[in-house]
Amino acid sequence: MAARQAKLIRCVVVLLLLCGVNLSGSLEPPRGPQRSASRPTVAPLPTGATRIVSLVPNVTEMLFAVGAGPQLVGVSSYDDFPPETKALPRVGALLDPDTERILSLRPDLVIVYGSQSELEGQFTRAGIRVYPYRHGGIDSILQAIRDVARLSGHPADGDRVIRELRSQLDAVVTRVRGQRRPRTMLVIGRDAGTLRGVYVSGGIGFLHELLDIAGGDDVFGDIKREAVQPSNETMIVRAPEVIMELHPGEQPPADVLRKERAAWNLLASVPAVRTGRVHLLYGGYLLAAGPRIGRAAEAFARVLHPDSFK
């Protein structure tokens, strides 16, 4: 479960961030088609799709959240949440979509990545509706929920999920209001046991926005990229007061946890290291750009402002 979950999260978040599939930021309102959330290529049927194939795990999660789970007939190789996805046929993923298998499932809606333009063309030519999902900030996530809810015939449920999400995020904002905002580094990748291959959240994207909501100032917020690979020198100079390391898997044994946290001791002058505010968080929801971002925002806030949750 943990391994699959890790793969799922990684698929959805990290690589897309790193590869810059879509570097659109959402600190500002969307401006034009390049910065907007995904849009369906065909207008939804009045009844909504009844046989849906999703190649995008976090969109699968959105479909289940709006009540369209029973309409799913196929999911990607990396889908693992919610548990109901395990019973569904696998149809490949970003690099290896199984077109024949997808067609054999007779879908009336296929969710693909925005970069899978050839696949999108194939299904469109076959008369199948396609929803190309593009990765972005919180606004993009909410828009995607709205879109898939509409396409699957659950527009009211989509609005409800969005309302609940907004309410969760607002609750976090209220909790941390008035607190001093610590300078925070949000680590989304690192080679085990060392400070090599460190990737952190930059100044755009949903993780940066969640950190902002949780009452932290992103030390790499000035770099307008979703993921940044900082050198040790840069991390020393940026001097974060809190380091939050996000891992999609399950929490390892205590000795491993201690060893991983100790890897940061090399940067002894960094305030987070000196004050013991290096936090390793584990859980699939932390990096999933979907209906669980409210939970992730609260987890961030609990680390940054523990007093606000007493």
Q: Which stretch binds other proteins (CB under 8 A): 58-66, 84-92, 169-177, 222-230?
A: 222-230
First to last CA, the chain: 32
14 binds other proteins (CB under 8 A): yes
167 binds other proteins (CB under 8 A): no
Task: Supply the minimum distance, in Å, between the C-beta of residue 97 and other proteins.
Answer: 13
Is position 95 an interface residue for other proteins (rule: CB under 8 A)? Answer: yes
Question: How many residues are present in the chain?
Answer: 310
Contact region for other proteins (CB under 8 A) — 94-102, 147-155, 158-166, 292-300?
Answer: 94-102
Based on CB atoms, which residue is closest to other proteins, 113 or 285? 113
Task: Report yes or no: 259 and 50 within 8 Å, Cβ to Cβ.
Answer: no
Residue 178 identity (one-letter amino acid)? G
Mark 117-146 with x for binding to other proteins (rule: CB under 8 A) and - for no binding: ------------------------------
DSSP H stretches of helix in the chain:
2-9, 15-19, 32-35, 57-65, 99-104, 117-125, 138-151, 155-176, 206-213, 232-238, 254-262, 271-274, 293-304
CB of 287 to other proteins, least distance (A): 10
Pairing type for strands 183-189 and 199-201 reads antiparallel
Stretch binding other proteins (CB under 8 A), from 7-15, 28-36, 37-45, 131-139: 7-15
Q: What are phi and psi of 42, to 5 degrees?
A: -130, 145
**In this structure, are residues 55 and 166 in contact, taking their beta carbons and an 8 Å threshold?**
no
Q: In what order do the strands lie in the sheet with 52-54?
A: 72-75, 52-54, 109-113, 129-133
Q: Which of 33, 43, 47, 269 binds other proteins (CB under 8 A)?
A: 269
At closest approach, how far in Å is the CB of 112 from other proteins? 15
Q: With contacts defined by CB under 8 A, name the span among 37-45, 147-155, 171-179, 268-276 that binds other proteins.
A: 268-276
> Which positions ≥6 away from 125 have C-beta within 8 Å?
none
Distance of CA 160 to the CA centre of its chain: 20
Phi (first) and psi of residue 133, to 5 degrees: -90, 130
Find the shortest distance in angstroms from Cβ 239 to other proteins.
Answer: 7
**Nearest residue (CB) to other proteins, 167 versus 229:** 229
Judged by CB under 8 A, which stretch of 4-12, 60-68, 97-105, 172-180 contacts other proteins?
A: 4-12
Residues numbered 190-219 forming contacts with other proteins, rule: CB under 8 A: 191-197
**Residue numbers at the binding site for other proteins (CB under 8 A):** 6-7, 10-11, 14-16, 18-19, 78, 94-96, 189, 191-197, 220, 223, 225, 228-234, 236-239, 256, 266-269, 274
